[in-house]
Amino acid sequence: MDEKDQQKLENHTEQHSRPLARLIGIILIVVAVLVALYAVVGYTAWQSGEAIRKEREESQQAEQAARQLSLAQEDIAQGSYHLALRRLEWILQRDPDNKEAQAVRRQADAALKTALTPIAPASPTPPPEPSPTPGQISEPEKEIERLRRLAKQEKWEDLFEGTLVFQRQYPGYERLETDRLLYNSSLNLGLSYVQGDQIETGIYYLAQAEKLGDLSQEALDYWLWAELYLQGMAYYGANWGAAASFFRDLCLSAPFYHGSCDKLFDALLAYGNQYLVAQDYCPAVNLFREARQYGRNQDLDLKLNEAVQGCAEATPTPAPIIDTLPITGTESLEAPVSDE
């Protein structure tokens, strides 16, 4: 092949390669544009999803705060000022600029100050009076006076024990008054304990008070919350689903009670993690999303993302259809015997 033929071959090859190169270049440009467009759309969708999620969480928090504010106003109307203040403190911890909650708190403070009996000037504290032992009360009227003083001093433990001792020795003496003293001491001890660490003891005292008279709505509410809390804690760490159920009810009605919403968050996170470990992703998504209403941490976000991806990729398997009739207790498992 001479030089001219070689040149013609090269020109021919070059002419054919140029359209191919252009085509490849166009394809690469289109792919790059599609990738960029997909990234923009994905990012926009993510931003939109985050905005919707944040708006939903804020809406749920606002609804919960509004519910607690309404309950606080009901508490004030019923004279349960301390309970109203606890609800309002919970709201203001999360939203310090809530003007309505601030106004209702001032109302509760003023009502509480009006309801309190003015305190007399401080006087020397009298020495403690020894409690009589059963069967050794020789002057019942003097003992009644001592019990009245204990009630004024709000020494509820001493009043409860002393009144029980008195009623055992003198069951009919000033029974209405001693029952009233026993009721007051039981009620105050119950409320004090259910708000502290000795919840079961508090329930016991509230039950004693209920035997002697009607309980206030505040006492009934605390009794219910205490039982929900104990039931939730009984399943805490053993059955996360049951624990979440009890703390869900408690968080809705009394989010300030013993960190009930924090307990709900932990239970939902642990329950969702059980589904995640079992690769049952879709139920885990719902639990993790519910948990985000009550708390946020990096571990939860990672688990939620994993569950969402796993749920999207999961292929549902149809359940087998078994065309059989249920076996009752009167039916035999043996094949019928032929008459032939």
Alpha helices in the chain (DSSP H): 3-78, 81-94, 99-115, 140-152, 156-169, 175-194, 199-212, 217-235, 240-253, 260-277, 281-291, 298-313
pLDDT (0 to 100) of residue 145: 94
| Residues 322/303, Cβ–Cβ less than 8 Å | no
Per-residue pLDDT of the chain (340 residues; tens, 9 = 90+): 556 656 655 555 555 556 666 777 778 787 777 776 766 665 565 566 556 656 666 676 787 788 887 888 887 887 777 788 878 888 887 788 888 888 888 878 777 777 654 444 444 445 555 566 655 777 889 999 999 999 999 999 999 999 999 999 999 999 999 999 999 999 999 999 999 999 999 999 999 999 999 999 999 999 999 999 999 999 999 999 999 999 999 999 999 999 999 999 999 999 999 999 999 999 999 999 999 999 888 889 999 999 999 999 875 554 444 444 444 444 444 444 444 4
Is residue 230 exposed (0-12), middle (13-18) or buried (19+ Cβ within 10 Å)?
Answer: middle
pLDDT (0 to 100) of residue 84: 83
Distance CA 317, CA 245 (A): 29
pLDDT (0 to 100) of residue 119: 43
